[in-house]
Amino acid sequence: MKSVSPRGCARGFAVGVLLAACVADVLVSGSDGTSVLPMAGPVWPTLAVLLVGLAAVLWPAGRRPEWLTPQVRTAIPALASALYSVGSLLSAKPNLFGPGETVILLCLLFIAVRHCPPRWAVGCGVLDVGALLLLTVRHGEPLRTDELGLVVVGLVLIGLFVGLAAYLRTMDYRRTVAISDTRRSERVAIAADLHDFVAHHVTGILVQTQMARMMAQTQLQELDPVLAGIERAATEALASMRRTVGVLRDTGEEIAHHRPVGDLGAITDLTDGFASPVQQVTLRRDPAVRDDLPHEVQAAAFRVVQEALTNIRRHAADAAHIEVHLRNEADRLVVSVVDDGLGGTHLPAAARGGGFGLVGLKERVTALGGELDAGPRGSVGWQVRAVFPAGKS
C-alpha cells in the first residue's frame, strides 16, 4: 500500500478547503444581500471567474502548456474578476462575493510576487491587489461600519501574502547566487587541477625529448621506447584537457596559484586521519582498481571521499561505522561512502555548511562524464556514490 506524505495530505486539505469556499461563492452569487437562497441573479459570471481562477491556481506544474506562464496565470483571472466587479457597479445590480474568489486572488498575488519575472511581478501584483479591492464595490452601496473591519482584514492579508512571497523570492535568489558562486569556484578549482595535470604531462614530454635528443646521437636503436613515452604523455595531456576544459568556458579568471591534487593513494591517509575513538572508518579497495587512472579522475575521487567525510562530521556526528569503497565495475571506477548515522551533530549551526558542497562536487564529477548520487541508505545512514569512466591506462 502506497503511503501518502504529510505534504500531500496538506495539499489535498488545502485544495478541499478552496473548493468548498468556491461552492460558498456560488451559493451567495446574485443575492440581494438579505437572503442567500434562493439566488436573485445569474450564477454564470461567478462560475466563469471561479473556474478561470481555479485553473490558474490548481493546474499541475508538470502539465502546464508553455503559454501558461506565471504572468498569464496571475493577470487573466485578476482581470476577469475586476471586469466582473466593474460590471456590477455600472449595472447598479448588487452581487455578493464569497471567500473562494478572495482566496484565489490572494494565491495569485503570492504567485505574482514570487514567480513572475521582475518586470512583470509589480504589474501583475498590482492587478491582483486591484481586483481584491474592487470586490467591495459589488455591493452597489457604501460600506457599512461593520464591513470596514473586513476591508482592514483584507489589507492585512494582502500585506502578509506579499511579504511572505517577497521573502521566499529573496531566499530563492540568494540560493541561486550561492549555487552559481559555488559552481564558479569549483570551475576555477578544476582549472587549477587542469593546470597541474597538463604541467605534469608536459614536463614528462620535455624530459623525454631531451633524452631522445641525446640518444639520437649514441643509442639510436633504443630511441623508439622513448618516443612512445612522449606520444603517450602527449595523448594523456590532451585527454585531460578535453575532459575538463568544457566546464571552463565562462570563467575568465587566471590561475594565480597551484592547488594540491589528491589521488587514490591519498584516500588512505584521508580515512586514517578521519578516524576517531568513537568513529571507525574502513577503506575497502578492489584490487582491480588501477593506480594509473587519469589524474583528474583520481583527484575527483579524492574530492568525493573528502566531501562525504566532511558532511558526516557536520551532519552525522553520531555515525559509528563509516565505509569507503573503491570498486571497478565494467571498466568504471565506483566510489562510495556509507555511514550508519542518524543525523546527530554537535556542531553549531554556523559550522554545518550551506549545503552547496555537493553542488560543486556534482559539477566536477559530471565534467568528467561521471554520475553522482547522494541520499539516505534505507532507514539508517547516508550514502554518497560517484561513478567515473576509468579511461585507458
pLDDT in tens, 78-122: 999 888 888 877 776 666 677 888 889 999 999 999 999 988 999
pLDDT of residue 42: 66
Which tens digit of pLDDT belongs to each residue from 195-209? 655 655 565 566 667
The verdict on 269 and 244 lying in the same domain is: no
Grid coordinates in use for 2? 502506497
Which tens digit of pLDDT belongs to each residue from 241-295? 665 565 455 444 433 333 445 678 888 887 887 766 667 888 999 888 888 888 7
pTM of the predicted model, to two decimals? 0.52
Grid coordinates in use for 263? 589521488
159 falls within a domain:
no
How high is the mean pLDDT of the chain? 76
255 falls within a domain:
no
Does residue 35 have a pLDDT over 60? no
The verdict on 204 and 312 lying in the same domain is: no
Q: Which residue is it, cell 589521488? A: 263
Residue 127: pLDDT band by 50, 70, 90 thresholds?
A: very high
Does residue 387 have a pLDDT over 90? yes
pLDDT of residue 143: 60
The verdict on 131 and 18 lying in the same domain is: yes
Do 360 and 341 contact (CB within 8 A), yes or no? no
pLDDT of residue 243: 57
Kind and range of the H or E run holding 339: strand 332-339
Does residue 322 have a pLDDT over 60? yes
The verdict on 17 and 133 lying in the same domain is: yes
The verdict on 385 and 276 lying in the same domain is: yes
The verdict on 293 and 365 lying in the same domain is: yes
Of 142, 157, 172, which one is at a domain's C-terminal end?
142
Do 361 and 355 contact (CB within 8 A), yes or no? no
Of 220, 248, 276, which one is at a domain's C-terminal end?
248
CATH, residue 299: 3.30.565.10
Q: How many domains does the chain have?
A: 3
Of 80, 109, 142, which one is at a domain's C-terminal end?
142
Does residue 135 have a pLDDT over 60? yes
The verdict on 276 and 371 lying in the same domain is: yes
Which tens digit of pLDDT belongs to each residue from 146-162? 567 777 888 888 899 99
The verdict on 286 and 228 lying in the same domain is: no
**Residue-number span of the structural domain to which 218 is assigned:** 187-248
Residue 191: pLDDT band by 50, 70, 90 thresholds?
A: low
The verdict on 137 and 14 lying in the same domain is: yes
Q: 41: which DSSP letter?
A: S
The verdict on 134 and 193 lying in the same domain is: no
The verdict on 354 and 226 lying in the same domain is: no
- Diameter of the chain measured on Cα atoms: 115
The verdict on 295 and 365 lying in the same domain is: yes
CA distance 97 to 88: 11
CA distance 284 to 114: 48
